[in-house]
Amino acid sequence: MKKLKNWDNKTWLSSKSYISQFNKFLKTKISFNKNSKILDIGCGRANIISTLQKKYKFKDKPIGIDVVASKDVKKNILFKRIDALKYLKKQKKYDFILIKQTVHFFSKTNLNSLLNLAKKSLNPKGKILIFSLKMKNNKIPCFKKMKKNLEKSLKRDEYLLKIIKKNLRKTKNFNFNFNVIISKKKYLWMIRSRYISCLLDLKKREINSGLDEIRFKYKNIIKFVDTLKCISFSK
C-alpha cells in the first residue's frame, strides 16, 4: 500500500485557522486538563496534538503514532513510527484517543482489532473520537478520475462506519465543518503532492490530465465546505 505523506503538509489541514477551529470542536467533546493522557493514531506531523500541548501543557506529552515519519513532525509531543495495532497491544492507558481520517487504511478485521484495543486502552470516562470525510454530497474539488476514486473510497468508509458503530455500540454522531478558501494555484500543488488517498494510485499522466480539468473547471479562488463525520465513544 502506498503511504499518504502530504495530507497535512501546507494544506488547509495544516493551517492555523483549521487547527484552531478543530481544537475548539474537540474542547466541546473532551474535558482537557493538565493530567489528560492523549494518543493520536495516524498523527501525520502532529499539528493537532502539538497545539493542544501548547495550550494545556499536559504533564505527559501527547503521543502521536504513524507508519510514516515526517521530517518536520512537531517536537513538543512524543512521536513513534509504529503500526497502531502493535502499539495498542502495549496496553497503556489514555483519556482521549483521536483517530482522524485514518480508518480507511484498515481492513475489516484489523479495524475491529483496532477498536477493541482502543477501548481497552481507555481510562474510566475516557473517550475515542473517530473522524472521516462526509460520505454523501462531499464538496472536495475533484477532476473526473479523482472523483471516481473518492466516491469508491467514501462508499467503503460508509461500510467501515457501520462496523465502527456495531463494535462501539453506544456512540454519538457529530459534524465538523470548515470553510475552505484556497487559491487554484495552491490546490493544483496539493493535487500534484497527492494530498488525499484517492490520488495515490493514479498515474502521472492521469494527474496531469486532472490538473488541466481543475484549471478549466474552477475559478482562481476555490471555496467549499470540508465536512468531517465524527463518531464519539465514551467508556
For the chain, the 3-state helix, strand and coil shares in percent, each to the nearest 5, are 40, 25, 35
Paired sense of beta strands 122-133 and 94-100, if any: parallel
Q: Is the pLDDT of residue 7 over 70?
A: no
In whole angstroms, give the CA distance from residue 79 to residue 73: 8
In the DSSP assignment, the letter for residue 61 is: P
Which pLDDT belongs to residue 30? 96
Mean pLDDT, the chain, rounded, equals: 93
CA distances from 83 to 2, 41, 75, 86, 128 (A): 15, 9, 20, 5, 18
In whole angstroms, give the CA distance from residue 122 to residue 38: 10
In whole angstroms, give the CA distance from residue 18 to residue 44: 15
In whole angstroms, give the CA distance from residue 168 to residue 116: 8
Judge contact between 177 and 225, C-beta under 8 A.
yes
pLDDT grade, residue 154 (50/70/90)?
Answer: very high
Q: What is the pLDDT of residues 96-135, one digit of tens each?
A: 999 999 998 899 999 999 999 999 999 999 999 999 999 8
Which pLDDT belongs to residue 129? 98
CATH topology of domain 12-234: Rossmann fold (3.40.50)
Of the chain, the percentage scoring pLDDT greater than 70 comes to: 96
Q: Quickly list DSSP for 150-199.
A: HHHHHHHHHHHHHHHHHHH-SEEEEEEEEEEEEEHHHHHHHHHTT-SGGG
Q: Is the pLDDT of residue 6 over 70?
A: no
Mean pLDDT for 201-219 is: 96
Compute CA 42 distance to the chain's CA centroid, rounded to the nearest angstrom.
7
Half-sphere exposure of 218 (CA within 13 A, CB side): 24
- pTM attached to this predicted model: 0.91
Half-sphere exposure of 172 (CA within 13 A, CB side): 9
Q: What is the pLDDT of residues 60-86, one digit of tens each?
A: 999 999 998 888 899 999 999 999 999
